[in-house]
Amino acid sequence: MELLNIIKIITPTLVAFTIGILITPLLTKQLYRHRAWKKKPGKHTLEGTEAVEFNKLHKEREREVPRMGGIIIWMSAFITIFGFWFISFIWPSAETIKMDFLSRAQTWIPLFALGIGALVGLLNDILDIYFNGNGLSLRRRLAVVIAVALFIGWWFYAKLEIISVGVPFGEPVDVGWLIIPFFVLVTLAIYASGIIDGIDGLAGGVFAMIFTAYSVIALAQNQIDLAAFSAMLVGAILAFLWFNIPPARFFMTETGTMALTLTLATIAFMTDTLGDGIGISVLPVIGFLLVATVASVLIQEFSKKVWKRKLLKVAPLHHHFEALGWPSTKVAMRYWVLGAVFGFFGVVLALIG
Taking only the tens place, the pLDDT of each residue in 74-102 is: 999 999 999 999 999 999 999 999 999 99
The phi, psi pair for 308, rounded to 5°, reads 60, 30
- Mean pLDDT lowest among 1-5, 10-14, 81-85: 1-5
Tell me the pLDDT of the chain averaged across its residues: 93
> Kind and range of the H or E element at 173?
strand 173-174
The number of domains in the chain is 1
Q: What is the pLDDT of residues 28-61, one digit of tens each?
A: 999 999 988 877 766 655 445 555 555 666 656 6
Find the domain containing 285 and state its range: 3-352
pLDDT one-digit tens code per residue, 329-348: 999 999 999 999 999 999 99
Return the ∠ at Cα 313 (arms to 310 and 318), rounded to 5°.
Answer: 120
pLDDT over threshold 80, residue 185: yes
Nearest Cα residue to 239 out of 11, 14, 10? 14
pLDDT of residue 260 exceeding 70? yes
pLDDT value of position 146: 98
pLDDT in tens, 128-145: 998 877 889 999 999 999
Kindly report the pTM of this predicted structure: 0.94
